[in-house]
A and B are shown apart, each in its own frame.
Chain A
Amino acid sequence: MLGYIIVIGLIIVAAMFVIGAYNSLVRLRNQVKNSWSQIDVQLKRRHDLIPNLVETAKGYMKHERETLENITEARSKAMGADSVKEASKAESELSGAVSKFFVVVENYPDLKANQNFLSLQEELTSTENKIAFARQSYNDQVLFFNNKIQMFPSNVIAGMFNFKEADYFEVETQAERDVPKVDFGD
């Protein structure tokens, strides 16, 4: 009799542990998803802004076909990415192409004086910043989640229910440094 009670008690305790660990894994995975959607919004915004930018710049930058083509190409590559790993690579290439573009723009004072261009530049700068800040909090969430998956005893539950580690959203440091800066009030 006593043996049965002990066995049933152990089963209940084990079940409660599994449920608790499972729920906390789900919660963390949702947080990771939620943080990712924050970045995703900004990435989409950037994809929307770039055609306008290229269109505005085209008339002024006749001699920079290559630069403009690079941006368009990097954009379509980034839009085609369907995993975080792929996206982070493509998006950092896109960041690089955009910042190269803004360096070239320095040689076109008439383009720099165009108000449409200036507001596009501000939007793009801000979107780059938002991506960088959102990336920070996404990566923090991924760190929590992956730690939970790797550490005992929650790793057992993670293995049972097939929880997979999330990918970090990484950007080359160079691209991060080249975030375009805008001149206020020009």
Chain B
Amino acid sequence: MNNKIEKLAYDWITSESDKVDIMSNYYCETRDIFQARLEKMKIALSKNEKLSKNRFLLSAIIGEIGNNSFDHNLGNWPNVMGIFFGYEMLDNKCVIILADRGLGILKTLQRVKPELNNHKDALSIAFTKTISSRYPERRGNGLKFVKNSIEDKKMNLVFKSGNAEININKIFKIKDAAKNLNGCLAIIKF
């Protein structure tokens, strides 16, 4: 499968704010646009015999990640509001990408853990600890749900924020990312 969709996502998240392609069909300015396109993806998955069986759980994973972007950046978007959401299906393979130009995991978690000072620790906490940037509201379960579901279904997830990235592919790994990214980028393959 080619990396066209990944390049589009990288271009979208790294462009200068006045050069972001907001006319793209992959751009979801608001939650309701995202939900409509997610519904469309679920329908597309249902037409592929192999991919169809995972379409509900996959839609939940994508829905959780995408809505988290809106939750954590509401009223605080640094520049371009909304998310990039794209997917490609070829034969029995699928790649789905979500990206936001938001605050990123570290800044959101620093609201409740001011002592956090690096992206790797922030990502580790987000995926493995019960913590919410909007404490005392009970939140912060979304990425645990994502992690557990990806592992259960033997899918692959790369999640990047700042200069750190998570890779879940049978086992959970966290490392420095090659490039620094403002916001978050998630790539799911199966």
Query: Do A and B belong to a common assembly?
Result: no
Question: What residues of chain A have their CB less than 8 Å away from a CB belonging to chain B?
Answer: none
Which residues from chain B sit less than 8 Å from chain A, CB to CB? none
